[in-house]
Amino acid sequence: MRSTTDTIDWMGMSENHRRDGGRDDALVLSVPALVLVSLFITALVTAQLTAAKVIEIAIPVAIPVAGDSLAMPGAAFAYALTFFASDCITELYGKRSAQVVVNVGFFMNLVLLALVWSTIWAPAAQNSAVDPETFQTVLGASTNIVLGSLTAYLLSQNWDVIVFHRLREATGGERLWLRNIGSTATSQLIDTLVFVGIGFVIAPSLLETGSPLPWAAVAQLVVGQYILKLLIALLDTPLVYAVVGLVRSNRPDAVATA
């Protein structure tokens, strides 16, 4: 059975269009959909801007490979929010709507890069508070990072939407916790392996745009990043329940079954 929310009108635009007297220039989106899409895009572009910095978090107990600290790109926190938002969108508005958001987000990433690099290449004023070299170092993600992050994004986000939807079908719409954790855990593993593999090993080797990281450092990045993402997936499950429950309590028809 296909619900009315799993259509092009997944944001309730037809209803608002009718309320506005059928004006073609009316664009009124439902608040929950707008908030979730905005969260997704905001977290996504933030992740792109913070990906180049590697952070390290001390942990009380040493674990294999990672040791007594977790090393990961700075984008790990922001990027984890994109999976939370996409899972909520898939649950409430259906697979097709979530895939539209994911694919639009990919192109917004390209827009972000174009805007950042056009600013980097523009001549700087003599009284600029930030010198051009520092500006480029901070905001100009390397070719390796860009290739790794965009490839990982397309693969992992689409995988997340597909797995979430398949688990929903398999459980008859029950066990939201299972599809939230199951889809995020597998997609985050794909994202971590692809991003670290391309960004820090494959691209530097093939394109000669830097030195590949030693395998020990690569393994540490993979383990540290994935453990953090998995913990976030476990912790955000109650939040997914809360968001879905809140939206459905205010709009019972916002239940996608296809």
What is the domain partition of the chain in residue ranges?
30-250
CA 24 and chain centroid, separation: 32
What is residue 27's predicted lDDT score, i.e. its pLDDT?
53
Nearest Cα neighbor of 151 from 116, 186, 100, 202 is 202
CA 129 and chain centroid, separation: 32
Distance CA 48, CA 111 (A): 11
Question: Which tens digit of pLDDT belongs to each residue from 242-251?
Answer: 999 999 887 6
Distance CA 146, CA 204 (A): 12
What is residue 43's predicted lDDT score, i.e. its pLDDT?
92
Q: Which residues of the chain have pLDDT under 70?
A: 1-29, 141-143, 209, 251-258
Question: Which tens digit of pLDDT belongs to each residue from 88-98?
Answer: 998 898 888 88
Let me know the angle formed at the C-alpha of 34 by 28 and 39, rounded to the nearest 5 degrees.
160
Given 3-state DSSP classes, what are the helix, strand and coil percentages for the chain, each rounded to the nearest 5?
70, 5, 25
Strand partners, 58: 69
The 3-state DSSP class for residue 94 equals coil
- Give the CA dihedral 60, 63, 66, 69, nearest 10 degrees: 0
The 3-state DSSP class for residue 1 equals coil
Distance CA 85, CA 92 (A): 11
CA distances (Å), origin 209, targets 38, 160, 191, 204, 205: 34, 31, 21, 5, 7
What is residue 190's predicted lDDT score, i.e. its pLDDT?
94
User: The pTM is what?
Assistant: 0.77
Distance CA 184, CA 186 (A): 6
Distance CA 96, CA 162 (A): 10
Strand partners, 63: 67
> What kind and span of H or E run contains 24?
none
